[in-house]
Structure 1
Amino acid sequence: MSRSGGRWADETIHRIMSMTKPVTGVALMMLHEEGRWRLDDPVARHIPQFADLAVATADGGRAPLARPMLMRDLVTSTAGFSMIVPLHIPLTGLVRSVPVAELYRTLDLQGGSLSRMVERLASAPLAYQPGTDFEYGVTHDLQGHLIEVLSGQTLDDFFAERIFRPLGMADTGFELDAAQRARLSTVYAWGPDGLAPSPPSVTTTDGSRGSYPSAGGGLYSTLDDYLKFARMLADGGRAGGQRLLSPASVRLMTSSLLPAGVRQHFGQRLDGLGYGVGVGVVEDPARATAMDAGYGRGTYYWTGWLGSWWWNDPASDLTVIGVTQQEGAAMAHVGLPQPGADLRALSAALVYGALMQP
């Protein structure tokens, strides 16, 4: 339902949360096509504040980097940074280094500009050596800062000018106007009496942008808008007469770039799955954790904390997008407890069960 009480409809606007990350991936690949960065560039070449980073040790000290942090580390969430975890979610079992994640909570990383966040992160140790593990989190907002540095534009303007306007995504952005806020859906969460509207203290995305545009989870969008984005990728970077990326760039973005032996890793280690630039990748369908419905090899995808999910399956020429606004409804694979049904897995079973000619 929308906030105004109207029916759920195509024009309803949702908080897509981490489904922002594939959009950030497209922006990065646009700049990659322009020669602004390469996978093996040291990150410090583009973000000088990270020239002297160190790694936290078990005894509370700091050790030097075994090698420079590279851009391939930053775009694949293997750079060594930890997660920004809400206070109501326990750190143990979710993050690689609890002390580093606790330090992040004291730094107020999301309380100012992207540049301020970079400065504060530069003072903190990494949770692990770059390229040795996967950890989801603050890395994607750093990618937003990088897009601003490389393009000379704000992230809002780059996304709007280079992605949303060419694709006709009129209802997608980091902030909503008054008319759009009237179409914003309500967020629900499970409580002792079943589903109920989520308290504002947990879901603060009321149509406002926040202190900075979050490249990791700050976008609002509609089903129709996100379908335009997803089909652009499925069509090799092209949408009608508009070409945003070359087919080669889409292939690179949607291939696993993780180092040998490193897999996606949340509350549990995910096997059979790689990670590209802002998207997960199904490398081995028979072994893929929580992806057992029939996904083809090379399927790329992502999900959002508030109950949204998407995948493109090139083997079946298939695009699927699902949206609720229910906390955790598409996140069972992460390993966090979720009292409701795994709606993402159920939708995949229905889709592939009905697909007779893959």
Structure 2
Amino acid sequence: MSRLIIALLVIASAVASAQNKSQVVEGMSTERLARIDVRMQQAIKDNWFPGAVVLIIRNGKPVYFKSFGKSDLEASTDMKKDNIFRIASQTKAITSLAVMMLFEEGKFQLDDPVSKFIPEFKNSQVLTEFNANDSTYKSTPAKKEITIRHLLTHTSGISYAAIGSSEFNAIYAKASVPSGIGTAFATLGDKMKILGGLPIKHLPGESFTYGLNIDVLGYLVEIWSGQTLSNFFESRIFRPLGMNDTYFYLPVEKHSRLVPVYEEVNGKLSKVTHQIYDKVDPWYPRLKGQYYSGGAGLSSTVEDYSKFLQLFLNKGEYNGKRLLSRKTVELMLTNQTGAMSTQFGLGFELETALNDYQDPTSIGTFSWGGAFNTTYWADPKENLVALLYTQIYQSPHREIGSLFKALTYQAIVD
């Protein structure tokens, strides 16, 4: 009898083990999700990055949340799920949310000219000639004003500082207009007023040009709200959503959680100690500054940013707090750029019928990322949020984002 009991226990244990191995959580196979582990570990072994944090949420519940590798190679510090990352351009969507919250308060209309609020943007000029020897240029009147909608969709003609074209890098540098990545000096308003007097790349509404548009919007948020962008974010967005680890400048007690930036040098990873982009200290989130870049200034955790994305999947509400109406969310997630090179809503890149089937994401998926190789997307059809954060300068292995997408969607089994 005892042998029979033992045999039955062994069989039951094996069945339980098999069931656990192929467990399905919120319609996703844990066995298939484990393939992400293998790929992340291989990427670390191949020196793509020292470590990473990955979070996948489905139906509002975390189904995969893991950290990999090291946050600091030299100190041999393990990466942790609550590590803080420079999210750079992921700041843009948060600023866009702030803008649309003020839109709902009647502070402006989407097709209002920017010059209505920042006079320096009146009479924009389009660049026609550029002299690389001394950064002088010639321009012609745009004959059309930049609007709030143009800024939200990156169709204003405004380019980027430090990471834009060589012509505009030089023009902006000469005028001391920064990229916003790690800028700690001056104030946003001072620099955006200067930007308003500089030439644009093309006529407003003519084309998609990724640029300092959302920094201009950050300054507009300050004008409309009467608060600094930092204070508006904290009081109107971060506190209601419970985003307790998202800042322009980190409090001292959270400095140790900030992940160092690495770069690939001769096939090996090296911690960045030199200045980056437009002569920026890579440890800029630890500085004390008053420049609140709406386009690139924030640092955050994957968990914090997932709450922000879930707000949109929940049609403007999170944890009982409503920040936007359902209709405004729908507007933000509707293609505003037609058949331009990038399909963009009011704050996010969109998966549309024009660019569908390039990867497994559903039509309606919204996404973006950051300069230090952080990436995210949210898929309303699958009720899915996914984030992958690393910290790499001039990242040569951005294909990790597309690999991550494939590995996420192959785990959906419902």
TM-score bin (small chain): 0.7 to 0.9
2:350 paired residue number: 281
Alignment partner of 2:286 out of 194, 207, 211: 207
Shift of 1:193: 3.8
1:35 paired residue number: 106
Counterpart CA distance in 1 for 2:384 and 2:339 is 29
Alignment of 1:155 onto 2:223? no
Alignment partner of 1:108 out of 165, 172, 176: 176
Alignment partner of 1:166 out of 240, 249, 262: 240
Alignment of 1:44 onto 2:101? no
Q: Which amino acid aligns with 2:107?
A: R
Structure 1 342/199 Cα, relative in aligned 2: closer, same or farther at 3 Å? farther
Counterpart CA distance in 2 for 1:257 and 1:185 is 36
1:318 paired residue number: 384
Q: Matches of residues 286-325 of structure 1 in structure 2 within 5 Å?
A: 287-288=355-356, 292-325=358-391
| SS across alignment from 2:410 | helix
2:407 paired residue number: 350
**1:186 touches 1:197 (CA, 8 Å); kept in 2?**
yes
**1:300 touches 1:312 (CA, 8 Å); kept in 2?**
yes
Shift of 1:81: 1.0
Counterpart CA distance in 1 for 2:288 and 2:349 is 26
Counterpart CA distance in 2 for 1:136 and 1:248 is 26
Counterpart CA distance in 1 for 2:154 and 2:79 is 35
**1:174 touches 1:208 (CA, 8 Å); kept in 2?**
no
Greater C-alpha Rg: 2
Bigger fraction of residues in strand: 2
1:77 paired residue number: 154
Counterpart CA distance in 2 for 1:328 and 1:317 is 32
2:264 paired residue number: 190
Q: Matches of residues 48-127 of structure 1 in structure 2 within 5 Å?
A: 48-58=119-129, 60-86=137-163, 95=165, 98-110=166-178, 111-127=185-201
**1:133 touches 1:262 (CA, 8 Å); kept in 2?**
yes
2:253 paired residue number: 179
Structure 1 129/78 Cα, relative in aligned 2: closer, same or farther at 3 Å? same
Relative to structure 2, which stretch is displaced further, 240-249 or 206-215? 206-215
Which digits, 9 at most, give the CA deviation of each residue in 1:246-290, with x for residues without a partner? 1111111121212x44222xxxxxxxxx111221011127x35xx
TM-score where L is the length of structure 2: 0.75
Alignment of 1:17 onto 2:88? yes
Counterpart CA distance in 1 for 2:229 and 2:76 is 32
Structure 1 227/209 Cα, relative in aligned 2: closer, same or farther at 3 Å? farther
**1:293 touches 1:352 (CA, 8 Å); kept in 2?**
no
Identity over aligned pairs, percent: 33
**1:174 touches 1:209 (CA, 8 Å); kept in 2?**
no
Alignment partner of 2:295 out of 216, 227, 239: 216
Which digits, 9 at most, give the CA deviation of each residue in 1:21-67, with x for residues without a partner? 11111101101111111111111112111112211114742211232
Structure 1 32/5 Cα, relative in aligned 2: closer, same or farther at 3 Å? farther
Counterpart CA distance in 2 for 1:5 and 1:15 is 20
Counterpart CA distance in 2 for 1:26 and 1:123 is 27
CA RMSD of aligned residues (A): 1.9
Q: Which amino acid aligns with 1:116?
A: D
2:279 paired residue number: none
Counterpart CA distance in 1 for 2:335 and 2:289 is 31
Q: How many residues align?
A: 326
TM-score where L is the length of structure 1: 0.86
Which digits, 9 at most, give the CA deviation of each residue in 1:201-229, with x for residues without a partner? 12343422555011111111111111111
**1:209 touches 1:218 (CA, 8 Å); kept in 2?**
no
**1:15 touches 1:205 (CA, 8 Å); kept in 2?**
no
**2:260 touches 2:283 (CA, 8 Å); kept in 1?**
no
Alignment of 1:140 onto 2:214? yes
